[in-house]
């Protein structure tokens, strides 16, 4: 069960920011005993890999905080975040951590399942994030973009760390994401109603 929570938390984190969960796993594996990566994913803790991930993260952090640019970035990340989510779920669920002593006992066959699950989870979270940003930008004249982006980055870091050291708390993070989904749906419906009312008003007095 912990393997699933670890993988789910990392994949959800990738849906917010593709590079944070990968960088978190790599750093923790390289400098701590919190996670022992499977042999096939040992490259994540390589110094060059960590440097590249850090550079990509820096670009993502800046781009995601600028209105309009954040929308373009989200379009590009539609392919990157689900891929990172699949990698994060597959690697995290197969890693030995402080709470998972025998990860191989859970996924003994069908190795594609955790990767596919990670892709789907990250894609869903990415979809919510992408849909929420226009709502935030429209309701705050763009000033809310850096605030929302910073909150997402912090959430991604917290979710990644919790997924590794205390995966049961991932359930709380997933609850927050469900709430965010409801908020986005309601916000988009409200915007559509307001636009419709505005068009109707123009027709009446135009």
Report pLDDT for 103: 63
Question: 21-47 b/e with 16+ CB inside 10 Å = b?
Answer: bbbbbbbbbbeeebbebbeebeebbee
Total H helices, total E strands in the chain: 7, 2
DSSP secondary structure code for residue 108 in this structure: S
Task: Give mean pLDDT, residues 20-31.
Answer: 94
What is the pTM for the complete model shown?
Answer: 0.82
Encode burial over 57-74: b for 16+ CB neighbours within 10 A, e otherwise: beebeebbbebeebeebb
Residue 106 scores a pLDDT above 60: no
Q: With a cut of 70, say whether residue 123 has pLDDT above it.
A: yes
Q: Is the pLDDT of residue 38 over 60?
A: yes
Mean pLDDT, rounded, for 75-99: 86
Q: How many CB atoms lie within 10 A of CB 159?
A: 31
Residue 97 has phi, psi (to 5 degrees) of: -125, -175
Domain locations along the chain: 2-205
pLDDT in tens, 144-199: 888 888 988 998 999 899 888 887 777 787 777 777 667 666 766 666 666 655 65
Cα–Cα distance, 81 to 111 (Å, whole number):
20
Q: What is the mean pLDDT of residues 85-111?
A: 72
| Residue 206: pLDDT over 90 | no
In order of 69, 127, 138, 183, the CA distances from 66 in angstroms are 5, 19, 13, 22
State mean pLDDT over 22-46: 91
């Amino acid at each position: 069960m912990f393997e699933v929570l670890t993988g789910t938390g990392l994949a959800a984190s990738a849906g917010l920011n593709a590079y944070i969960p990968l960088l978190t796993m790599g750093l923790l594996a390289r400098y701590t005993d919190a996670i022992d990566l499977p042999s096939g994913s040992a490259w994540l803790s390589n110094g060059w890999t960590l440097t590249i991930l850090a550079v990509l993260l820096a670009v993502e952090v800046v781009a995601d905080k600028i209105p309009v640019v954040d929308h373009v970035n989200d379009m590009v990340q539609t392919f990157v975040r689900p891929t990172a989510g699949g990698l994060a779920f597959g690697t995290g669920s197969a890693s030995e951590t402080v709470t998972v002593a025998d990860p191989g006992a859970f996924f003994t066959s069908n190795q594609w399942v955790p990767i596919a699950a990670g892709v789907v989870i990250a894609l869903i979270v990415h979809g919510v994030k992408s849909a929420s940003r226009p709502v935030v930008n429209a309701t705050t004249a763009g000033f809310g973009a850096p605030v929302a982006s910073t909150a997402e980055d912090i959430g991604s870091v917290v979710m990644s760390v919790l997924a590794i050291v205390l995966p049961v708390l991932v359930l709380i993070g997933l609850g927050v994401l469900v709430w965010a989904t409801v908020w986005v749906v309601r916000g988009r419906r409200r915007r559509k109603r307001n636009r419709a009312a505005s068009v109707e008003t123009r027709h009446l007095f135009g």
